[in-house]
Amino acid sequence: MKFPRPSRGTGPRSRPGRLACRPRLEGMEARVVMSASTVAPSSGTAPNGMIFGLQADNRIYSKPNAGAAYALDEGATDGNGAQYVLAQDHQVYQYMGGTSWAVVGDNVAQISSDGNGVLYALSFDHQVYQHDGGTTWHVDTFAVNQIATDSGGTLYALSFDHQVYQHGAGNTWTPIAFGVEQIASDRGGSLYALNSGHQVYQHDGGSAWHVVGSYTTQISVDGKGYLYGLTVDGHVYEHDSGSNWHVDGQFITQMGTDNSGVVYGLGLDHQVYQHDGGTTWHTVGGGVVQIAFDRRGTLYGLNSNGQVYQHDTGQTWESIGLNAVQIAEDGRGYLYALNSDHKVYENDGGNAWHADLVNANQIGVDVNGGLYALGADNQVFEHDGGVYWHTMGNNVNQVAVDQFGVLYALSGDHRIYQHDGGSIWHPIGGDIVSMALSPIRMLTAVQTNAGQWTYNPAGNWIRTA
């Protein structure tokens, strides 16, 4: 059974006016540790050549061929005891016994099973599919960005209008929170939400949410189910499934989780740090100015020489043969690069790149996952997720996206405008000579005869020089 591939021009994405951290997809599905005695073989191969193995940590890993590195898979169990894994090729495999695996779903971003043992899959067309236990999947709900399951087996979905919905009897979905940018469930099955006010809430399983973190731009879950938060001041915190957060030791400007469940961060020193799953970080690359993750969970780095590399394992990075001045991934997980010839290239999800826009000076991705470009003609363009770019502003000299995913534009009349995520630009400052992002990606501006200012999370300008 193959899920439909997403239309590259009509992907659902509403544009509400809430401004906060942009959503990510990786690391949010329910995590099931599989028993070696009853569930999985020590090794096995699917008909397409995918190799599976139960590793020392009692978790299922897979690789596309014998020479490749294993990557961690996410697992789920249905009401009949059937075991499923979502492999790094974005296909859902069912364990058939012995050393046999079968493909039962394709083009999948997440899987999860609820308290009734029903298996669900979130596909890359942003639909939730319900598995019938055989060979059929049924569309279960509206377009959503993430799914998660709590310790009681209740299924939740985050919609593109930033509402959290709770799944109930009769395939009903009830909204229980709004203004949410990310959801995640940790190893204990606790459900968390990052809202547009940059606060992290923990759900009590009933009707209440409790604040457990503030000034947070991003949350992520590693392969062991530990929850991490990246704060506005560049600190990474690990949550202990209670009310405490522990500083995890690095000053990070970007953070993400790869397809093996490993957390990476880009430091202010332009080093790429890999978290060891405990209390330390170690470097796996240097001289890096940007990192990005595609929808397969592959890590990319742009170095100071303008070369784009794909991370393999350990200290190994492979050049993809593309020079760039910026890289970015949109809300669908597609990777883009702006090269020195002012062309925007899109990755096809594999090893190929094709030119998508010419005569661009800057690119950026906002809170809703929308891709924007500043053209050489001083127009701002929005990508439709397909093959078209639409004009949404003119007479613009600079654009910038801050750590919360808010898009700003410096116009020819020396004003800074903030985009509302829809079609409106709001002026927030005038008499501006230039604007930029600080090392931790906060908006700064130089005003004529009035010094340098920083725009803080509360929406106020603070003079800094």
pLDDT of amino acid 211: 93
Q: What is the pLDDT of residues 2-26, one digit of tens each?
A: 333 333 332 223 332 222 222 222 2
Mean pLDDT calculated for residue range 163-189: 89
pLDDT of amino acid 91: 86
E strands, 87-226, are 92-97, 100-105, 108-113, 119-123, 128-131, 137-139, 144-149, 155-159, 163-168, 172-178, 180-185, 191-195, 200-203, 209-213, 216-221
Which residue has better confidence, 209 or 61? 209
pLDDT of amino acid 426: 93
pLDDT band at 465 (very low <50, low <70, confident <90, very high): confident
SS3 of 171, please?
helix
pLDDT of amino acid 16: 28
CA distance 322 to 281: 29
Count of all residues that appear for the chain in the document: 465
CA distance 212 to 193: 10
CA-based diameter of the chain, in Å? 75
Q: Please answer whether residues 93 and 102 qualify as being in contact, where contact means their C-beta atoms are separated by less than 8 angstroms.
A: yes
pTM here is 0.75
pLDDT of amino acid 43: 61
φ, ψ of residue 169 to 5 degrees: the values are -60, 145
SS3 of 350, please?
coil
Sheet holding 128-131, edge to edge: 108-113, 119-123, 128-131, 137-139
Point out the least confidently predicted range of 33-47, 304-318, 396-410: 33-47
Domain boundaries, the chain: 43-286, 287-394, 401-465
Mean pLDDT calculated for residue range 263-290: 90
pLDDT of amino acid 315: 84
Helices (H) and strands (E) in the chain, counts: 0, 47
| The CATH number of domain 287-394, selected from 1.10.10.10, 2.40.50.220, 2.130.10.10, 2.40.40.20 | 2.130.10.10
Residue 411 identity (one-letter amino acid) = S
Burial class (CB in 10 A: 0-12, 13-18, 19+), 328: buried
CB burial readout 1-12, b (16+ within 10 A) else e: eebeebeeeebb
CA distance 443 to 408: 9
| The CATH number of domain 43-286, selected from 2.130.10, 3.30.70, 3.10.450, 3.40.50 | 2.130.10
Q: What is the pLDDT of residues 344-354, one digit of tens each?
A: 999 876 667 88
Which residue has better confidence, 284 or 4? 284
CA distance 20 to 68: 38
Asked whether the predicted pLDDT for residue 258 surpasses 50, the reply is: yes
pLDDT of amino acid 242: 66
pLDDT of amino acid 308: 92
pLDDT of amino acid 58: 64
First to last CA, the chain: 60
Q: List the one residue out of 32, 66, 39 whose CA is nearest residue 54.
A: 39
Q: List the one residue out of 253, 248, 276, 279 whose CA is nearest residue 265.
A: 253
For 193-223, the DSSP string reads EEETTS-EEEE-SSS-EEEEE-SEEEEEE-T
User: Is there a shared CATH topology between the 43-286 domain and the 287-394 domain?
Assistant: yes
